[in-house]
Structures are given as structure tokens and as C-alpha cells.
Amino acid sequence: MSGILIDSTRLQTEMDTLAAFSDAPAPAVTRVLFTPVELSARAYIKQLMADAGLTVREDAVGNVFGRWDGDDPALSAAATGSHIDAIPYSGRYDGTVGVLGAIEAVRALRRAGFRPHRPIEVVMFTAEEPTRFGIGCLGSRTLAGRLSPDALTALKDTHGIPFDEVRQSAGYTGDLTAAQLAPGHYYSFVELHIEQGSRLEAAGAPIGIVTAIAAPATLRVVLHGSGGHAGTVLMPERRDALAAAAELILAVERAGRGSDSPDAVATVGLCHVYPGAVNSIASRVTLEIDIRDIDLASRDRMVAQIEAAAADIAAARHIDIERTVLNADRPCYGDAQVLAAIRDAAAETGSTAIELVSRAYHDTLFMAEICPVSMIFVPSQHGYSHRPDEYTSPEDIARGVDVLARTLMRLASS
């Protein structure tokens, strides 16, 4: 087999082309599930897969699969991939590096004369971002059986349109029950992704090997107080929902800062105030809270601490609280064999690699329900992500694709 060579120029051209499928002006990218722009981007990816010699299929929720059958097509596939949807006014690298990079890895292996023993499959996941339906990793959750057909049917987008209506309008009319994959369906899964942090850049290392992905839990808390005129309701009489929310926000911060776990984080990322007028006391506030850690017990302790604080605040301020757990996912850990394949691949390229945990979650978190997994990270300049100036150099992307290709070569040869 001749050497593996990555066509960085072609890959960057494809990155530029994909970035142009956007509902926001460059350099920002907005690409929301099943919009006309996102459907056009999907068509582009499917064409690239077909041009790379992959057999393309799609499931009922819009996950796209490109398959390279090996010498024994009956064997489970070594899989790779990521997503192409993008939150409003974000960047061009999040997710897309792992989809376009996977396609280029297949092309590079073909050019090198490699013939896989077991199949290689490239997956483009539906809706990793929670932008339209309020839940992240919709496609991979469905594959893993963590989002049932009933739960999918109950989903509505930000305009109240049911998921079933949206997906069928986009041409995805298949049976939702057929989308779930059985454990062992894949031999392995490896996702190439930008780091979305600054650890690789700080260490001067071009490759990150992901040993674990933090477990996120998301809570929605609605605080019901009593509204009124800001000038006429005296302070002793008040049941101010926003003041209660402010206390709860600080309690969330204390839970994260007070944890003994170095990977523990707790964040209030959304605060909706009703009625939202400067001269009106807030009668209702909705908070959405993100709590995560690679240590599940630590994560759950923070959740319990926040729930206890919410109850105490409600009692002290004479307000009512509704709490909904939007999701409470399990952490995942890199498989020893997959990690070894990545380490060997990085060493073969001469790339310095460091091992780290991912505090952002990815589709890999749910693929771990199906098969052994890990991830390959490449640097994000200044740690920027989910913003228009997100940037990873062509050289770093090409190096990551090279490591991915050599990892797939090892896994597909077993």
C-alpha cells in the first residue's frame, strides 16, 4: 500500500462550499435542521459521499450513512462521522470537520490502495445542535434508542410545528421504529472534531485523544410569583419571581464551584422573564440549567444540591416552582482498543498527541450505547467555537484527517 496523503486543498474548498450553505452572512454560519439551506447542504454531502464511492442511505429522522463495503460486508462496520447543522451565527468548523474529514479519509485510503476487511461507514447525524427542537444529538439519540418514536412524535419546534410534520415535509417519511440500531451494530465509532477549547493550543499539541465525554443534565425551572406595578406593590408584600430566580442562579454557580470534581460545571444559560417590563414585577421566570461532569455521581450531587436550593428559595419567598428534567445523560469513556488505534495512528504521523476529556458533548456520547468509541480533537484557535471567528488551520485539519484515516485503517483491518 502506498502512503496515505490528505488532499488539504480539496478539503478546504469543500469546507468553503459547505460554509456558503447558510442563512447568515459570511463569516457566520446558520444552518438549522430541515430548512431549505440545510436540505441543500445535505444534498451536497450526499453527492460527496457518492463521488467517494460510498453507498448512501438515509433513515427516518434524516441520519445519512455512506458505506464502503470491505472484504466481508457481513462484519460490523468501523464507523466515523459528525454533523453539519450549525447554531445561529456560529462558525464553519464545528461538526463539519468530522463529516468532510471522514469523506476525505475514505478517499485517502482508496488512493493509498487500502482495502478494508470490515466495512467503513461515514455517518452524518441529524441535528446535533438543539436549535430547532430543543434537544441536542437528536439523530444519535434516536440511533441509540434514547429517543423513542413516541418522544420524537411529541417534539415541536420553536414555531410549534411537530417533528413528524417537519421531517415528512423534508422527504423523510420512513418508519421511526426502524431508526434505532442494536448494540453491536458497529464495530467501533471515532469522531473527528475541533476541540472547542484551548487545551491543545496551550500545550502546542496538534492532536487530542478523548478519553471521556462529560455527562450533561438539563433542567428547566419555572418560578411562579405574583406580578404587579413596580411602584405600588410595597417590598414586604412582594413575591418577585425574578428575585427568586437570581438567588437560584447564584445557587447553581455555587454548586459548580463547590464541587470536588475538577470537571464539574453548572450553568444557567437561559432566563425568560414575564411580563418583561421595567415597571412591572416579574410574575414568572423560566430558567434552563446545564450541569455536567465526567463523574456521574458528582453530576447528580450537583443536581440534587440545586433542587434543594430551589425548594428552600421557593419556601422563603412564598413562590411556586415547577421543575422538568429535559435530559440526564450518562458519561462515556473511550474504549481501550479504539484509544490504542488512535495513539498508534498519531505516532505513525509523528504528531504530538495529548489525552483529554471532552466537557462538550457530541454524538459520540450516544454512539457509546451502540459500540466502542473515542474521539480525535484538533486545535481551535484561542479556544473559540460557536461564533463566526471559530478557526482551525488547514494544516491542523489535514493532520487530524490523516490520524483518522490511519485509525480507520487499523480498526477496519481487524
Q: What's the CATH number where 228 sits? A: 3.30.70.360
| pLDDT on residue 169 | 97
- Domain membership flag for residue 3: no
Claim to verify: residue 291 and residue 347 sit in the same structural domain: no
- Domain membership flag for residue 372: yes
- Domain membership flag for residue 256: yes
Claim to verify: residue 307 and residue 363 sit in the same structural domain: no
Could you give the percent of the chain with pLDDT greater than 70? 100
Look at the chain and report how many structural domains it folds into.
Answer: 2
Give the domain extent around 283. 215-328
Claim to verify: residue 61 and residue 79 sit in the same structural domain: yes
Last residue of a domain, one of 286, 313, 328: 328
Average pLDDT, the chain: 97
| pLDDT on residue 1 | 57
> What contacts 24+ positions apart, CB below 8 Å, involve 296-299?
296/215, 296/330, 296/331, 298/259, 298/260, 298/261, 298/263, 298/264, 299/214, 299/215, 299/217, 299/264, 299/331
Model pLDDT for residues 195-241, shown as the tens digit of each residue = 999 999 999 999 999 999 998 899 999 999 999 999 999 999 999 99
Model pLDDT for residues 399-410, shown as the tens digit of each residue = 999 999 999 999
Claim to verify: residue 78 and residue 171 sit in the same structural domain: yes
| pLDDT on residue 134 | 87
| pLDDT on residue 75 | 98
Model pLDDT for residues 328-383, shown as the tens digit of each residue = 999 999 999 999 999 999 999 999 999 999 999 899 999 999 999 999 999 999 99
Claim to verify: residue 40 and residue 129 sit in the same structural domain: yes
- Domain membership flag for residue 405: yes
Claim to verify: residue 312 and residue 224 sit in the same structural domain: yes
- Domain membership flag for residue 32: yes
Give the model's confidence band at 289: pLDDT under 50 very low, under 70 low, under 90 confident, else very high: very high
Claim to verify: residue 320 and residue 341 sit in the same structural domain: no
Last residue of a domain, one of 280, 302, 328: 328
Claim to verify: residue 122 and residue 265 sit in the same structural domain: no
Model pLDDT for residues 25-51, shown as the tens digit of each residue = 999 999 999 999 999 999 999 999 999
Claim to verify: residue 103 and residue 189 sit in the same structural domain: yes
Claim to verify: residue 196 and residue 304 sit in the same structural domain: no
Model pLDDT for residues 3-22, shown as the tens digit of each residue = 999 999 999 999 999 999 99
- Domain membership flag for residue 1: no
Claim to verify: residue 122 and residue 236 sit in the same structural domain: no
Model pLDDT for residues 71-92, shown as the tens digit of each residue = 999 999 999 999 999 999 999 9
Last residue of a domain, one of 328, 358, 380: 328
User: Does the structure show a pLDDT above 90 at 153?
Assistant: yes
- Domain membership flag for residue 2: no
Model pLDDT for residues 120-146, shown as the tens digit of each residue = 999 999 999 999 998 999 999 999 999
Q: Are 17 and 79 in contact (CB under 8 A)?
A: no
Give the model's confidence band at 2: pLDDT under 50 very low, under 70 low, under 90 confident, else very high: low
Model pLDDT for residues 373-399, shown as the tens digit of each residue = 999 999 999 999 999 999 999 999 999
CATH code of the domain containing 102: 3.40.630.10
Claim to verify: residue 68 and residue 184 sit in the same structural domain: yes
- Domain membership flag for residue 91: yes
Model pLDDT for residues 242-260, shown as the tens digit of each residue = 999 999 999 999 999 999 9
